[in-house]
């Protein structure tokens, strides 16, 4: 009797969800979307309709996309009493992240070296990305990606970026088709980021690579594909092998205001090193006069620190456009590299 009652409840719940989805997703916009996917990419209409009907409303999405309270974002300058301050350095550049990064390196050294030889991206950069994005694969997201992208494109969570999410939904379905994935089973972040490197669907299709030659690209379970794909992402966005990311600026106090003003400009490197030397600035490393650089500002314990940002710093911001994110990748990668060097000296 109990078993029968449970089945009735489950059926009743599914029926309610299906009815709610018909109200949310049974409209001309979705019909046009299904027709577009059928005519342009030969998707089965009935199968797409089933995917929309089967959507389970996800209440958590609104919580994550709800406008957050005003926060101070800083590299390393938060006051301990300031609860609305995010300290990127303390969040990501930790002993635990460096230790786990070293463990990842030792376990996957062969594939990391192969990626370095092919794409020119150092192992520690690849490792830092995986560590920051998914805590070395332990947090890849619990949201059903089709449901998430459909909700953000057409459903109750549709907002001003609906066209972006609609494009990602198209890419998600194509990604599943190309890799023989079941779209019902794929899970990611609340915004549709996927796998250990947290690629959005369009990035998955454009940058992810089959690095173990098994005829599919798996960014959840194939460490080879994950490593190769992160390296390819950087390579395709202009990473320069064996070139610096940041370097120290040496300048007289009289140029402090000039340096600070320059740091407020874009971190796209577009001023030549020669131009900066004419203003009395120099680097602690050898730089070609024609090299384009930017000035990057960060706060260390309430003191402003300035560095030259090279092309590779800018490339990191193509993965995530935040300057603080790029700093986190750079400094965590240094900690991982230093841990590896200490181990090798023992």
Domain count within the chain: 1
pLDDT of residue 103: 98
Opening angle at CA 65, ends 61 and 67, nearest 5: 145
pLDDT at residue 18 is higher than 50: no
The CATH code of the domain that includes 302 is 1.10.530.10
Q: What is the DSSP string of 14-63?
A: HHHHHHHHHHHH-SHHHHHHHHHHHHHH---HHHHHHHHHTPPP-THHHH
Q: b/e per residue, 60-96, with b = 16+ CB within 10 A?
A: ebeeeeeeeeeeeebbbbbeeeeeeeebbbeebbeee
- CA dist 217 → 146, 194, 210 (Å): 18, 12, 5
pLDDT of residue 26: 66
Strand partners, 246: 309
pLDDT in tens, 173-223: 999 999 999 999 999 999 999 999 999 999 999 999 999 999 999 999 999
In a domain, 330, yes or no: yes
In a domain, 307, yes or no: yes
pLDDT at residue 19 is higher than 60: no
133 is catalytic: yes
In a domain, 41, yes or no: no
Q: Are 209 and 79 in contact (CB under 8 A)?
A: no
Which one of the listed residues 29, 70, 124, 133 is annotated catalytic?
133
pLDDT at residue 91 is higher than 80: yes
Instruction: Give dist(CA 277, CA 109) in Å, integer.
Output: 40
pLDDT of residue 130: 98
In a domain, 217, yes or no: no
In a domain, 189, yes or no: no
Q: What is the mean pLDDT of residues 256-273?
A: 96
Q: Which of 2-6, 40-44, 265-269 ranks highest by mean pLDDT?
A: 40-44
pLDDT at residue 28 is higher than 70: yes
Query: How, if at all, do strands 72-74 and 85-87 pair?
Result: parallel
In a domain, 150, yes or no: no
pLDDT of residue 229: 98
Q: What is the mean pLDDT of residues 8-13?
A: 39
Q: Is residue 82 very low, low, confident or very high in pLDDT (cuts 50, 70, 90)?
A: confident
Instruction: Give dist(CA 240, CA 335) in Å, integer.
Output: 21
Residue 71: which of 322, 327, 329 has the closest Cα? 322
Run of H or E including 223: helix 223-236
Instruction: Give dist(CA 110, CA 117) in Å, integer.
Output: 11
pLDDT at residue 37 is higher than 90: yes
pLDDT in tens, 106-149: 999 999 999 999 999 999 999 999 999 999 999 999 999 999 99
In a domain, 223, yes or no: no
| pTM given for the model | 0.90
Instruction: Give dist(CA 107, CA 133) in Å, integer.
Output: 19
Q: Are 59 and 283 in contact (CB under 8 A)?
A: no
Q: Are 125 and 163 in contact (CB under 8 A)?
A: no
Instruction: Give dist(CA 294, CA 287) in Å, integer.
Output: 13
Q: What is the mean pLDDT of residues 287-293?
A: 97
Which residues form the domain of 287?
246-345
Q: Is residue 57 very low, low, confident or very high in pLDDT (cuts 50, 70, 90)?
A: confident
In a domain, 313, yes or no: yes
């Amino acid at each position: 009797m109990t078993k029968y009652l449970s089945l009735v409840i489950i059926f009743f719940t599914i029926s309610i969800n299906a009815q709610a989805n018909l109200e949310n997703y049974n409209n001309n916009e979705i019909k046009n979307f299904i027709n577009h996917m059928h005519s342009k990419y030969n998707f089965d209409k009935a199968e797409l309709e089933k995917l929309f009907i089967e959507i389970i409303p996800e209440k958590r999405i609104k919580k994550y996309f709800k406008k957050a309270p005003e926060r101070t974002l800083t590299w390393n300058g938060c006051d301990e009493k300031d609860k609305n301050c995010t300290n990127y350095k303390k969040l990501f550049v930790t002993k635990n992240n460096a230790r786990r990064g070293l463990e990842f390196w030792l376990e996957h050294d062969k594939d990391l070296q192969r990626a370095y030889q092919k794409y020119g991206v150092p192992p520690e950069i690849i490792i830092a990305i995986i560590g920051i994005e998914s805590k070395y694969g332990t947090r890849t997201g619990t949201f059903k990606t089709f449901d998430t992208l459909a909700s953000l494109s057409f459903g109750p969570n549709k907002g001003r970026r609906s066209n972006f999410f609609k494009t990602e939904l198209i890419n998600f379905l194509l990604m599943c088709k190309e890799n023989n994935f079941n779209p019902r089973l794929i899970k990611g972040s609340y915004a549709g980021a996927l796998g250990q490197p947290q690629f959005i669907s369009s990035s998955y299709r454009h940058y992810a690579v089959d690095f173990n030659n098994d005829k599919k690209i798996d960014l959840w379970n194939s460490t080879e594909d994950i490593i190769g794909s992160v390296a390819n992402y950087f390579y395709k966005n202009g990473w320069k092998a064996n070139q610096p990311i940041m370097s120290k600026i040496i300048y007289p106090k009289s140029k402090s205001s000039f340096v600070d003003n320059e740091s407020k400009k874009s971190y796209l490197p577009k001023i030549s090193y020669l131009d900066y030397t004419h203003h009395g600035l120099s680097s602690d490393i050898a730089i070609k006069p024609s090299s384009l650089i930017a000035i990057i500002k960060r706060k260390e314990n309430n003191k402003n620190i300035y560095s030259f940002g090279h092309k590779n710093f800018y490339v990191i911001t193509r993965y995530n456009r935040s300057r603080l994110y790029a700093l986190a990748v750079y400094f965590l990668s240094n900690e991982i590299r230093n841990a590896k060097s200490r181990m090798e000296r023992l």
